[in-house]
Amino acid sequence: MPWRQRNRPPRPVTRRSAVVVLACGLLAIGTGACGLIIAGHAGRAAVPVGRPTLIPVPRGDAAPVPGPSDGEAVARPASLIIPAIGVRTRLVRLGLTSSGALQVPATTALAGWYTFSPRPGAIGSSIIAGHIDSLTGPGIFFRLRLMKPGERVYVRRTDGSLAVFRVTARHMYLKADFPTAAVYGPVPTPQLRLITCGGPSTRPPATTSATSSCSPR
């Protein structure tokens, strides 16, 4: 895939006024990424109140950090596990809509990997996205805003390898001020971006978005 197409930054989703992005950094012996999920497979949504469902830390050896030219050698992401907020979901593939915006999930119960971003664990900003809620209840990333620096994010890949990330930052932005270049732009290390958004779209001035990053341990 041409570099220009593969690294084309999608426009922020416009259906919802608030966007949350969690950024994660690659651990010394692993990798990871975050982004939206698309509908089409079964998943587990976050519980709206009380403590999150207990999710065990996945077993397996963390994959080694790839070199700058190993991006295509990294296996595709298959699932996302975030024990701290009770998330375990299969990852679906997300692309762009006809208008050039980031595709969103058809269901709130799954998360998805944006296929024009690097694969989780490869050099660059990998994007995983999911809904925060809907008219019927909480979505898969309902508790994303509660994550703290130092907590772990795990991405299981199709070859069975495990990409492990550590949360390094959490940010919130007005949708009108969404820092597209900072979230989707090139970085020198494997990084992960977990993105969600919410709020009424009828009040643009109140629209906010949040971003957080993960970095290597």
Helix (H) or strand (E) holding 126: strand 124-130
For residue 156, what are the domain limits?
Answer: 3-215
Please list the pLDDT of the chain residue by residue as tens digits (217 residues). 444 445 555 655 444 456 778 888 776 433 333 332 222 333 444 444 456 677 777 767 666 555 555 555 799 999 999 999 999 999 999 999 998 888 888 899 999 999 999 999 999 999 999 999 888 889 999 999 899 999 999 999 999 999 999 999 988 887 778 888 988 999 999 999 999 886 554 333 222 333 334 443 4
Residue found under tokens 């919130």: 172
Question: For residue 35, which of 98, 105, 84, 97 has the smallest C-alpha distance?
Answer: 105
- Start-end of H helices in the chain: 3-6, 180-184
Work out how many domains the chain is built from and give that number. 1
CATH number at residue 163: 2.40.260.10
Which regions of 143-215 does DSSP assign to beta strands (E)? 152-157, 162-174, 190-198, 209-215
- If phi over 0 gives left and psi between -120 and 50 gives alpha, with beta otherwise, what is residue 121? left
**pLDDT for the residue 187:** 92
Cα dist from 106 to 20, 87, 99, 213, whole Å = 18, 18, 17, 25
**pLDDT for the residue numbered 24:** 83
**Inter-CA distances, 126 with 10, 34, 49, 66, 206, Å:** 13, 6, 29, 14, 28
- Global pTM? 0.71
